[in-house]
Each structure stands twice: as C-alpha cells, then as structure tokens.
A and B are shown apart, each in its own frame.
Chain A
Amino acid sequence: MAEEDDDIVLAELPDDELVPQMQDDLYDGLRDEVVEGVEILLSRGWAPYRVLTEALVSGMTVVGHDFRDGILFVPEVLLAANAMKGGMSLLKPLLAETGAPRMGKMVIGTVKGDIHDIGKNLVAMMMEGAGFEVVDLGINTDVDRYLVALETEQPDILGMSALLTTTMPYMKIVIDTMAEKGIRDDYIVLVGGAPLNEEFGRAIGADAYCRDAAVAVETAKTFVARKHNSAAAG
C-alpha cells in the first residue's frame, strides 16, 4: 500500500473526499495528516466549529464505536486521540474566538483510596476527543476536592472512576454528600471502573454506569442533549 499512500495529496482532494480521508487518518492515528487536513479545511473557509464536528468528532465517533465493539483496543485509541489533539490544538483558540457552542464540560477523578488511573485517563482523552472540555482531578480524590471542583468549574458532568471493589462504595459517599447539599440534580453523574456494573450505578444513585470510555462518551452526549432540551423546554 506504500505506493498508494504516496498518491494521496490531501490538498488536491475536494471537501467531500477530504473529510472521509481525514476520518480514516484519525482512525489510523496519523497526527500530521490530521493537522494538515484541518489546515486545509480552514484555508477553504470552513468555520472552526464545522471542522471540529464534521471532520474530527465524527471520526472519533467511529473510533469510539470500534473500541466499544472490540475492533480497536487501547493502543489504537490512544494514537487516534493523540491525532485528534493535534487537530484540536489548531482549533481551540479559533473556537474560543468565534464563540462556537460547547459540547459540554466534565470534571473527572478516581475516588479516594484508589490510585488507578489508566481507565480514567482513557475516558478523559476520549471525552476531549469528542469535543468536551475535561478537568482531570487525578487519583485519590476525596469528596471535598470533588465539591470544590464542581463549584469552581461548573461542569455539566461529574465522572468518578474506581478500580477496586474496596473503593467503589466511596462513589456513594460523594453522591450522598451532593444530595445533602442540594446540588445532586445540578450535575450529570457518570461512574465507571472494572468492578462496577449497571446495578451498582443505580444502587448508589448515579445517572449512569459506563462500561468503557466509548460508552462514557455516548452517554455523556445523550445526557447533555437531554439537559439542553429540558432547559429549552423549561
């Protein structure tokens, strides 16, 4: 395929071929090519928000689905997310300037007592890949740190991760404390981690349990859309 690779000159492709090519390049984690594609679309007068949603986010959606379906695994997803980040570094300042709509914002952290962070990092990367703004609180996060971050960051979503059966009950402490303060319903609470399941998510009062990073992104999109709709209706 090497000769064929050389044949593709992104700048010569019309928009309707360039965008699918960019999605393929994103899928394959080709950071330089994705950055080049973004530059070309911008130079052709595309609005930054249109580049983000039509070329990048839709490409990462395919990555997310194939990750969910066991076709892609963590290494490929990390490479795709890295390529996405390359494109985003160009778009971010432009999006801010043009006042483009936000996808949403998430505060995420591994709960107190738990120092596992690969799954949490993966969710953060995939969420960023989907265009969300992510504030990562890191590992071993106690309830006070979650609450301070909710106050200062005003996210749409709180994400909590736990990899240990001994630390997952801490999620309930955080949710209960939010309820006591009367702020539980101000946020979408998503939980995840290897030992969790849907039943557990329901039992502790989370909005949803997310089996993996791809599901987290889909769930976040659905809930944020629902929130916007109900805000519009109300």
Chain B
Amino acid sequence: MTDALSRLLAERDWLMADGATGTTLFNMGLSSGEAPEFWNADEPDKIRALYRGSVEAGSDIFLTNSFGGNASRLRLHEAQDRVGELNRLAGALAREVADAAGRPVVVAGSVGPTGEIMEPMGPLSYARAVEIFHEQAEGLKEGGVDLLWVETISAPDEYRAAAEAAKLADMPWCGTMSFDTAGRTMMGMTSAGLAELVEKLPYKPLAFGANCGVGASDLLRTVLGFAAAGTEWPIIAKGNAGIPKYVDGHIHYDGTPELMADYAVLARDCGATIIGGCCGTTPEHLQAMRAALETRPRGPRPSLDEITDRLGGFSSASDGTGDGEGPARAPRRRRRS
C-alpha cells in the first residue's frame, strides 16, 4: 500500500474528489473547439488556478487537465505527436499544486475515452486502444501523477484496454463509466455489469464507479446498483451539477450548491467512498459538498423514492438491473449467438 490514494483510503471513510474541468476552463476563456490540453503548455497559470480551485474548496483528489490527451482525440487538433508533452505538463502542474497544499492531496491523471468505436462494431482494435492509453499513461507518470483516473468510458473493452495500459505503465488506477442511456452506458453496460467486469480484471483498479451521465438522481441509482452487486471495491460517485439549461444564450447547470451538498451526503449513504462532481460543478459546489460531508451524519442506504424526493426524478424507469428488469422483446426464431 504505497500509493497516495490507498494511504488516504486507509485513514478515512470518505474522500472528496473534484468538480468540472471543462466548465471551469470555458469560464476562464477557453474557446470551444480548442483542445483544453493545449493550455497545459500555453496557459499554465490558468491550469494552476483550475487545480487550486479544487484543492482550496477541499478536494482530497483532483484530476489533471488531460481528459482528451490521447492520440485519437488530439489527432482532431493535429496534435497527436504532443501526447507525451501535454500529459507530462498536465501532471507536473498538478504535482506542484498538490505538493503546496499543506495536506495530502492525490493527483489523478485523467484519461478520457478515445472517442472511437471498438471492433467489431467500429474501427478501433483492442491492441491499438491499449497502445493509445499506454502512451498517455507514460506521459502522466512522467509528470508525477499519483495514479491514473480513467473516466467517462462506455464500452467494456475500452475499460479493459485502459486497465491493461495502466499495468504496462506500472501505475495504480481508478476507472469510471458514464451511465447516460436509460441507466446504462451508451454501449448498454449496466452498473451490475461494471461491478462484475471489475471482479474479472487481471489488473484491478483501486476504486471504480460512475461519472457524468444524466443527473444526480440517476448517478445515485447507479451507485446503488454497484452496492447491490456486492462489490468490495471503493465506489466512486462523480455526478454532474444538475442538467444543463439554455438561458439567455448561455448554458447554465441547474444544480445548486445546496442540491450538490444533498447529493454528496446521499452518495455516501448509497455506499460511495469517493465523492465528487463532474460537469457544472464549481468550487462553490465543492465547498458546500465538503461542508455537508463533514457536518452531516451518515444515514441508512436511501431507497430510490427517497433519492427522487430529494434530488428529482430519474431519466428512465429502469436501469437494466434487479428483478423488475426493463422492457424486453419477445424471443425470435433465430438469435445472435
């Protein structure tokens, strides 16, 4: 148990992660279409400010500005040859901020999806996916991150590929999927399915869970699904600050700091150990979450009804787990094997 996250997990029974990276950078003037990772080189002070925002709001863990820093995504900006450099800088700036925090703060090297569809449905081979993630992992490692943080994944094979890349880089890792389609990932993965996948991985994450997705309620239903699957791994909950609304030509997330504070406490009651936000979650939200986690008592695991009463309704009636199951189609004569 030599890594920074395992040490914190041994001392504490909950940890707070960070909030939004994209939302914050856009507020600092990043123009849409520009790769946020370029700012690691061009606007280091703004990236330091992004990181400090989370640390000063009380995050125990924060993610580096490297979500789209893989060759597949950077190619869209003709920067596929800058993977090593941009990830190393993302990690090094984060290391600097974490080391100046005056308390243990974990630097998690963000690894987002490739954006490609994997074989046989799409063009990306498993081997190539491993290679893409491994290249990014080495850059983050060189920059000094404590672990890799794989996030917003939707395909099981892509999650496996990221795990294999972490092993090749000899780095501890955490991995979350985004459950945004009728309670499942875009590729149809259920919460129970991810819990099962984690059990079968040869190189296990330190923690796994859900990020982004639809709203706070859906995310907690997913966390309940992980818990119901009987997992022993720490669960991560990183939900969006509500749902984006279009107001006077600007986008605004409707989740208030008060709602996110309720979400954080409920996430812990649902069984999550690492709790943070995602899109729309500002330092103001994080402060409210931290205060709530520190001051409010733990409660019993909430029911689905209690979650909707406190945080609002779900986006779909079922999430594909449990006895009720969802809608199903009548059997046909010949089925895909």
The residues of A with any CB-CB pair to B shorter than 8 Å are 1-2, 4-5, 8, 21, 24-25, 27-30, 33, 66, 69-76, 78-79, 82, 112-118, 139-140, 164-170, 194-195, 197, 199-200, 203
Contacts and interface: CB of A to CB of B under 8 A. Distances in A.
B52 interface: no
A195 B336 contact: no
A28 B122 CA distance: 17
Contacts of A169: 246, 249-251
Closest 4 CB pairs of A and B: A73-B188, A70-B182, A113-B33, A165-B251
B33 A28 contact: no
Given A70-B318, A75-B187, A115-B77, 7 more contacts: A73-B184, A73-B186, A112-B33, A116-B115, A165-B251, A166-B22, A200-B246
A164 B212 CA distance: 13
18 contacts: A8-B333, A29-B336, A33-B334, A70-B181, A70-B183, A70-B184, A70-B316, A73-B187, A73-B188, A74-B181, A78-B117, A115-B33, A115-B115, A118-B115, A165-B279, A166-B251, A167-B33, A170-B32
Interface string B199-241: 0000000000000000000000000000000000000000000
A71 B155 CA distance: 17
Interface in B74-117: 76-77, 115, 117
Interface string B294-337: 00000000000000000000001010100000111100111111
Given A195-B244, A199-B246, A164 B32 contact: yes
Nearest to B250: A169
Contact of A30 (B26, B76, B334): B334
Nearest to A5: B334
Nearest to B212: A194
B332 A24 contact: yes
Nearest to B332: A24
A25 B76 CA distance: 37
Interface of B: 22-23, 26, 31-33, 73, 76-77, 115, 117, 120-122, 154-155, 180-184, 186-188, 243-246, 249-251, 279, 316, 318, 320, 326-329, 332-337
Nearest to B240: A195
Q: Is the interface of B mostly helix, strand, loop or mixed?
A: loop
B188 A27 contact: no
A190 to B, nearest CB: 17
A213 to B, nearest CB: 11
Given A114-B32, A203-B246, A71 B333 contact: no
Contacts of B244: 165, 195
A69 B23 CA distance: 31
Contact of B76 (A8, A21, A139): A139
B209 to A, nearest CB: 20
B327 A69 contact: yes
Contacts of A194: 180
A74 B186 contact: yes
A4 B77 CA distance: 51
A168 B246 contact: yes
A70 B333 contact: no
A168 B244 CA distance: 11
A118 B186 contact: yes
A166 B181 CA distance: 22
Nearest to B246: A200
Given A66-B329, A167-B32, A74 B334 contact: no
A189 to B, nearest CB: 16
